[in-house]
């Protein structure tokens, strides 16, 4: 996978590209849009659950996973 970057953008490292789940993305803009869609799905999950306390490490880890699990392989490794 080879990304096309706008001038001044910081390129992804080969390790970062290796850890991307979607293989069809070719520009930073496409990655940003894909990641934003994944984040919104995570937010929708968080706002839809009924919990007495969302201030827990378990909740934060699960939210992180939900926000990035369709974009990055490492999303649930925290």
Spatial separation of the C-alpha atoms in residues 51 and 66, rounded to whole Å = 16
Spatial separation of the C-alpha atoms in residues 72 and 41, rounded to whole Å = 14
pTM over 0.85? The answer is no
Q: Could you give the 3-state DSSP secondary structure of residue 10?
A: coil
Alpha helices in the chain (DSSP H): 14-18, 28-48, 57-68
Spatial separation of the C-alpha atoms in residues 59 and 78, rounded to whole Å = 12
| pLDDT for the residue 37 | 95
| pLDDT for the residue 1 | 65
Give me the residues of the chain with pLDDT under 70, please: 1, 51-53, 78
Mean pLDDT estimate for the chain:
86
| pLDDT for the residue 6 | 78
């Amino acid at each position: 996978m080879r990304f096309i970057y706008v001038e001044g953008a910081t390129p992804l490292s080969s390790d970062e590209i290796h850890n991307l789940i979607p293989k069809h993305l070719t520009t930073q803009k496409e990655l940003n849009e894909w990641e934003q869609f994944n984040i919104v799905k995570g937010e929708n999950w968080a706002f839809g659950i009924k919990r007495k306390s969302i201030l827990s490490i378990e909740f934060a880890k699960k939210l992180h996973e939900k926000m990035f699990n369709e974009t990055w392989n490492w999303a649930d490794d925290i």
